[in-house]
Amino acid sequence: MSAHTSDRRRPAVPATLRKITTSASLGRASVMARGSLQRQAGGPAKASAPEVARAAAGRRMADRNDVTRWAESWIKLWNRGDVAGVLERYREDVRFESPVAEAITGSSLVEGKTALGRYLDLAIGECRALHFELDRVIWDPELNDLAIIYIAEIDGQRRRGCELVTFDASGQVMRGEACYGVQHDR
């Protein structure tokens, strides 16, 4: 086993206890997440995306409800153009890869939160209109990895996107990768 592989391994979890969120369970997870927020607040859920992000920060993502809420609030932050809110979720030493980063900065790898902020500001500055729509999430609790699958509408062009993030033990993103697919019809 390589050193890279060994530092990503977590204690083994029996397959029967492992929960993976797929498109089939996303709807149920979203309903459960809303119900949980409503019970905690004593009424309809009204938590803003930054409140959800702050509530999730500082701890390991516990279950699919956590990661679904995290992804939903991540989408809302992007739709508002709130780069600072997005950056709150990342560690200072984050490593992020994207083909868009390569086109803008000359390197597909962006290292560090400050560099990531500069890159995101440049990338958003290139867009006249940006809107993300969550499709589904896929969660691997053993590795603390989340795949956010979404439709990105940028300047009228719709494409499927996937953001792969790995959380550290405190719930901060330590590694991320943006992947983009083919044109997506409405």
Residue-wise pLDDT tens digits, 143-159: 999 999 999 999 999 99
Domain locations along the chain: 19-183
* Confidence band for 61, pLDDT divided at 50, 70 and 90: confident
CATH architecture for segment(s) 19-183:
Roll (3.10)
pLDDT of residue 57: 45
- Res. 26: pLDDT tops 80: no
Global confidence as pTM: 0.67
Q: What angle do CA 161, 22, 13 make, to 5 degrees?
A: 115
Q: What angle do CA 146, 150, 156 make, to 5 degrees?
A: 150
